């Protein structure tokens, strides 16, 4: 009898050890919602879906498959609109979301430095690289994310801004008195031109121009093509206002804190990949988008360089005003401006205006 008991005990112990080993090696499923205010036809959202998300999956699998993500996708404004991107992530309406820093000048002011330095460079890869360096090394920028309940994962940007209008533009004078859709900070680019800025976004431009709320927009080719704005504003005037840092993918801070370190690292690594893939996709797609619009009837011209320089020099120094306004709030805007422009200069880019000088 004793012998039988020992056998049963041994079998029981073996079963416990086996069960324990199986439990230790089991894959834990983590549910995450990923969302945006814009559809996946917009590059910075599409790359979230086809690069960022699968990259997280790949990294976790390569690290041993201890965790897997069960994703719930909610793109195209199904959870929130473009004016609610920060609050949606902060309040946990989504776990991970694309956040438009362009529309968050009060909450995320330092992230908007590129929009206060127009006409600098059309090189999006460079813009994102310099901005990534600043965000990694300036604690005051990192803290603005966390103070808003968000952890930054990966930056996003746009190809260079141009004009799409219902009327041809041959000189700066042709803009005088015209209503031009220009959201947030980009409205300041029209100062000195005589044009009247109208608030809006990629999701509203078509209807706004079609109904006469505005007569055109300042925007970028990879955003305009999928929203078909060129159908109602067929005159494209290339003015090269520059590539811009537009926003980022971020995750709700409380949700972040609840995740295992291995998953956090995978999200950060995927965020870097997101930035690189987005820049590559936009840079290759920008000229192709312009060509496609031309095939569909748009008329493309280039603003004469002397008229472009008139525009640049007619603007007040919006960068210096931005610095003064933010430094009055004890934010290091002057240092951010200097680091951004020095990063551009270090890449042998010639600036048509030194925004860091009076």
Domain limits, the chain: 28-105+124-157+245-286, 161-243+296-316
Distance from C-alpha of 315 to C-alpha of 327, rounded to nearest angstrom: 21
- Which token pair is 323? 């610095």
Query: For residue 98, which of 246, 253, 203, 248 has the smallest C-alpha distance?
Result: 248
Handedness of CA 339, 345, 351, 354 (dihedral sign): positive
For β-strands 244-252 and 96-100, DSSP reports them as: antiparallel
Q: Which residues pair with 301 in a beta bridge?
A: 237
Euclidean distance between CA atoms 224 and 164, whole angstroms: 9
Q: Please, which pLDDT band fits residue 26 given cuts at 50, 70 and 90?
A: confident
The CATH code that applies to domain 161-243+296-316 is 3.40.190.10
Measured between alpha carbons, how far is 167 from 90 in angstroms, rounded to an integer? 41
* CA neighbours closer than 13 Å in the CB half-sphere of residue 318: 20
pLDDT at 83: 84
pLDDT tens for 184-237 read 788 999 999 999 999 988 889 999 999 999 999 999 999 899 999 999 999 999
pTM of the complete model: 0.83
On the question of a common fold for 28-105+124-157+245-286 and 161-243+296-316, the answer reads yes
Please report the pLDDT score of residue 25 as a whole number: 62
Q: Which helix (H) or strand (E) segment is 302 a member of?
A: strand 299-302
Q: How many CA atoms lie within 13 A of 154 on its CB side?
A: 29
Does pLDDT of 3 surpass 70? no
Q: Mean pLDDT, to the nearest integer, of 231-246? A: 97
Residue 197 three-state SS: strand
pLDDT digits (tens, 9 = 90+) for 95-141: 999 999 988 888 999 999 999 999 999 999 999 999 988 987 888 88
Q: Are 252 and 215 in contact (CB under 8 A)?
A: no
pLDDT-above-70 percentage for the chain: 93
Q: In which band, very low, low, confident or very high, does the pLDDT at 278 lie, cut at 50, 70 and 90? A: very high
Any idea which residue has 């991970």 for tokens?
96
Report the relative pairing of strands 244-252 and 150-158 from DSSP bridges. Answer: antiparallel
Count the helix, strand and coil residues of the chain and give each as a percent rounded to the nearest 5: 55, 20, 30
Query: What CATH number labels 28-105+124-157+245-286?
Result: 3.40.190.170
pLDDT-derived band at 6 (thresholds 50, 70, 90) equals very low
Q: Would the pLDDT of 11 be above 50? A: no
> Are 153 and 269 within 8 A, CB to CB?
no
């Amino acid at each position: 009898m004793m012998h039988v008991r020992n056998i049963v005990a041994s079998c029981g112990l073996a079963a416990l050890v086996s069960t324990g080993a199986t439990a230790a090696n089991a894959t834990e499923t983590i549910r995450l919602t990923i969302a945006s205010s814009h559809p996946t036809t917009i590059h910075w959202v599409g790359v979230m879906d086809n690069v960022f998300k699968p990259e997280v999956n790949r990294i976790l699998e390569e690290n041993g498959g201890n965790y897997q993500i069960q994703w719930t996708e909610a793109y195209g404004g199904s959870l929130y609109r473009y004016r609610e991107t920060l609050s949606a992530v902060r309040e946990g309406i989504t776990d991970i979301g694309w956040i438009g820093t362009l529309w968050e000048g009060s909450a995320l002011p330092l992230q908007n430095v590129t929009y206060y330095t127009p006409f600098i460079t059309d090189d999006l890869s460079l813009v994102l690289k310099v901005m990534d360096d600043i965000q990694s090394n300036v604690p005051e920028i990192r803290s603005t994310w966390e103070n808003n309940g968000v952890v930054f994962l990966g930056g996003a940007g746009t190809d260079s801004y141009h004009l799409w209008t219902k009327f041809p533009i041959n000189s700066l004078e042709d803009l005088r008195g015209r209503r031009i859709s220009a959201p947030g900070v980009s409205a300041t680019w029209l100062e000195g031109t005589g044009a009247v800025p109208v608030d809006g976004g990629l999701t509203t431009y078509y209807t706004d121009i079609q109904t006469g709320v505005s007569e055109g927009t300042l925007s970028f080719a990879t955003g305009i093509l999928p929203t078909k704005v060129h159908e109602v504003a067929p005159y494209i005037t290339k003015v090269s206002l520059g590539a811009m840092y537009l926003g980022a993918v971020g995750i709700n801070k409380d949700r972040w804190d609840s995740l295992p370190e291995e998953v956090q690292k995978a999200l950060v690594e995927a965020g870097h990949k997101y930035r690189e893939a987005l820049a590559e996709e936009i840079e290759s797609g920008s000229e192709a988008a312009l060509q496609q619009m031309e095939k569909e009837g748009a008329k493309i011209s280039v603003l004469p360089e002397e008229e472009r320089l008139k525009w640049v020099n007619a603007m007040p120094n919006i960068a210096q005003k931005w610095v003064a306004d933010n430094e009055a709030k004890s934010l290091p805007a002057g240092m951010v401006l200097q680091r951004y422009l020095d990063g551009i200069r270090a890449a042998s880019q010639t600036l048509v205006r030194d925004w860091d000088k009076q």
